Amino acid sequence: IVAVSQEMFLRECKILANLEQHGMPRVVDYFIRGKELFLILDYSEGMSLWEFVYPQSAQGIRPPLGRRTQPARERVIDWSIQLAEILCYLHDQKPFPILHRNLSPLSVQIAPLIDEVRLVDCGLLNSFRTLATLTGYGSTAFFPNPFAIPDLIGGRWSQTYVDIFAFGRILDFMLTGNIPAEADAPPAYPATESSLDAELHTLLARIIMRCCDMARDDHYQSMAEVNQDLIQLRAEASGSESQRIPCICGHL
């Protein structure tokens, strides 16, 4: 078991070290010491999405502490497009797509000043799953990430949809601060009422629902499809913004 995992780990790390994509962490080194596997990544200053939405809460505390910070929806759309482009790059790798599998508000970071999206790690590797399943540690308790798709370590492991599903959860989190209580719990944003921009709200809700819909024929088939809808949404939002009329109260 150890030999198989070590060989797979070194092969995967070599692939990760050759990636060149803005927003991806750079592989500094990787090695094996005894039976332990080490992957060292560069560290970037920034704030995780978790810290941005819940600035008074410690990392990963559930339920989070303090009041929620609501990012502007235009900002959420821009962040989502940046994250989608990173995932498109990973999924387009040949001969096999590279999956992150552990996307969450803790693994997505916002760089200060430049407002850019970055991933803080490379996610869960195939060597991780091999070791977890062969040694019996592949239980649901082993995955504390509530944004992951059900049966991640099972039959869905090799599907690009695992990242699409988590992407929808993150988009829902940015808009509502919602943390799924259960793996199959529905997103919160579609049920949120909004007095402004009803059409934009509807389109965002539709994207979230298609990302999180586990029916094969109803959900997005690729991150490229998700990104295309987000780019179209941003264009429509920008167009409607220019047509707004200032009200005496100060709002558009």
* Gap between the Cα atoms of 175 and 191, Å rounded: 12
- Quote the mean pLDDT of the chain: 87
DSSP state for residue 142 in the 8-state scheme: G
Is 0.85 topped by the overall pTM? Answer: yes
Which residues are CB-contacts of 194 (< 8 A; sequence separation ≥ 6)?
201
Least confident stretch, 26-35, 97-106, 142-151, 219-228? 142-151
Residue range 126-149: mean pLDDT, rounded: 71
Task: Choose among 34, 91, 75, 70: nearest CA to 189.
Answer: 70
Instruction: Indicate the length of the chain as a whole number.
Output: 252
* Gap between the Cα atoms of 233 and 77, Å rounded: 8
Residue 102, CB-side half-sphere exposure with 13 Å CA sphere: 16
- Give pLDDT, residue 110: 95
Distances (CA, A) of 200 to 84, 225, 247: 19, 18, 20
Task: Choose among 167, 134, 173, 132: nearest CA to 149.
Answer: 167
pLDDT at residue 137 greater than cutoff 60 = no
Predicted confidence band of residue 141 (pLDDT cuts 50, 70, 90): very low
- Give pLDDT, residue 140: 43
How confident is the model over 68-80, as pLDDT tens digits?
Answer: 888 888 899 999 9
pLDDT at residue 44 greater than cutoff 90 = no
pLDDT at residue 163 greater than cutoff 70 = yes
Predicted confidence band of residue 171 (pLDDT cuts 50, 70, 90): very high
Residues 88 and 224: beta-carbon distance below 8 Å: yes
pLDDT at residue 241 greater than cutoff 60 = no
128 vs 12 pLDDT, higher one: 12
